[in-house]
Structure 1
Amino acid sequence: MKVDRSKLKKTPTEAPADCRILIEKLKACNDEQLLVELQHIKTWNIGKCELYHWVDLLDRFDGILCDAGQTVENMSWLLVCDRPENGQLKALLLAVLNFTALLIEYSFSRHLYSSIEHLTTLLASCDMQVVLSVLNLLYVFSKRSNYITRLGSEKRTPLLARLQHLAEVW
């Protein structure tokens, strides 16, 4: 779900210059360029800023997560990102998940993140790279904030059920 902009409070602080430059650079990219740019970012080398400044990119990432987490027609057990012919989408999905984990770790106002239902869906992927990237992002949330415990029950319950299902299998 995209960020609910009606609930956003305009922050009086401006994003640090290095942060603002990266945001504008990523916003200007098409999907292929975005993949390349995100794959180059392995560590966080810019200032810590509010997640509020990243809302436009988070909305774009939400769309990517949504597309990747759709079920394949006539095969409800298979996600679009699991299809072999969707390698580019899977690569972009993994880059988005890994970048988002870095962003969440080095930002404030994490409560603005609103794509948790897509993460829950992606935990059902057949691809362990996808599952591990989602688990890593959830781990960052759990170690850096009380985000997961503060989720509404309509989002928290399916997430915890999916995590429990994964744990039972392993």
Structure 2
Amino acid sequence: MKIDRAALRRPCTAELLPKCAELIEELKTLNDAAFVARLATISDWHTGFGKTELARWADVLDKCDAVLERAAQSRTPGSHQLMVDSPDAAPLRSATIVVLKFTALLFENTFTRSMYSSADRLLALLDAGNIEVVTEVLRLFYVMSKRSRFLSQQLSESDQKRLTGRLSSIAESWGGRFRNLTLSDCCTPGVKLGSVLPISYQSKEGTKLIESVEV
């Protein structure tokens, strides 16, 4: 959800360097397509940006939230498929990945991050079928846990349980306990499930193979 300005407890007092202020103002004025395109050019944190409160980026984060909101919506009412997984949603997938990467950069290079309000979108996107989207969400959660106590202090108890459940599901063996498929295997087009109880035998005359059967 968008950031609740009334919930910001105190004004920002840390120094805001000129280059950082210029970038924030630039991003605030761009339309959706230009906004994502500009974020895609920011792969490293320029030393001229410095480090300041995350609240300085509130307007930018609201624009990021709008992208995540579209991505995390159900494709149709009652459907488990998300908009980001729609066959014609390649631009939305790309935009979502760009936003997730940029948000991770912000968490690494800001402080006072308690005002971040898009965790509900991130939890929803863990159900995405696209492995790149899921990977970037996991990476962002990792940065959050490494750089702050956001997950333990700002997520509600129900959201913490939801996150734990999703992480457990992703980490477990896929395709059943006997098949030992990874998540990436399951996301590969045309994945073939192996036999639950593979049994094979061979009959030979000398070195010539006569028959090989697997059930």
Common fold by TM > 0.5: yes
Partner of 1:101: 104
Distance 1:4 1:105 in 2: 22
Distance 2:93 2:78 in 1: 18
CA contact (8 A) 1:31 1:92 kept: no
Distance 1:155 1:15 in 2: 33
1:98-137 to structure 2, matched below 5 A, reads: 98-137=101-140
1:27-38 to structure 2, matched below 5 A, reads: 27-38=28-39
**Cα deviation code 1:115-138 (max 9, x no counterpart):** 111100001111000000101100
Partner of 2:168: 164
Where structure 1 has 5 or more consecutive residues not aligned to the other structure, the ranges are none
C-alpha spacing 1:167/1:18, structure 2 compared with 1 (3 Å): same
Q: 1:104 is aligned with what amino acid? A: F
- Are 1:152 and 2:153 counterparts? no
Distance 2:86 2:20 in 1: 35
Distance 2:33 2:2 in 1: 22
Distance 1:128 1:94 in 2: 11
Q: Which structure would you say has the larger Rg?
A: 2
Partner of 2:68: 65
Structure richer in helix, relative to its length: 1
Distance 1:14 1:30 in 2: 28
Distance 2:161 2:15 in 1: 36
Kindly indicate whether structure 1 or structure 2 has the higher relative contact order, using CA contacts under 8 Å at least 6 residues apart.
1
CA contact (8 A) 2:14 2:52 kept: no
1:143 Cα offset (Å): 0.7
Count of residue pairs brought into register by the alignment:
170
Q: Secondary structure at the match of 2:80?
A: strand
**Cα deviation code 1:1-47 (max 9, x no counterpart):** 22121111222345221111111111111111112111111111121
Distance 1:31 1:6 in 2: 25
Q: Secondary structure at the match of 1:126?
A: coil
Q: 2:107 is aligned with what amino acid? A: I
Where structure 2 has 5 or more consecutive residues not aligned to the other structure, the ranges are 175-181, 183-215
Partner of 2:2: 2
What is the CA RMSD across the aligned residues, in angstroms?
Answer: 1.4
Q: 1:24 is aligned with what amino acid? A: E
Give the 4+ runs in structure 1 shifted more than 2 A: 12-15
Distance 1:19 1:3 in 2: 20
Q: 2:12 is aligned with what amino acid? A: T
- Are 1:11 and 2:12 counterparts? yes
CA contact (8 A) 1:105 1:140 kept: yes
Q: 1:50 is aligned with what amino acid? A: E
Q: Secondary structure at the match of 2:13?
A: coil
Partner of 2:59: 56
* Identity percentage of aligned residues: 39
Q: 2:137 is aligned with what amino acid? A: V
Distance 2:15 2:62 in 1: 20
Partner of 1:88: 91
Distance 1:11 1:133 in 2: 29
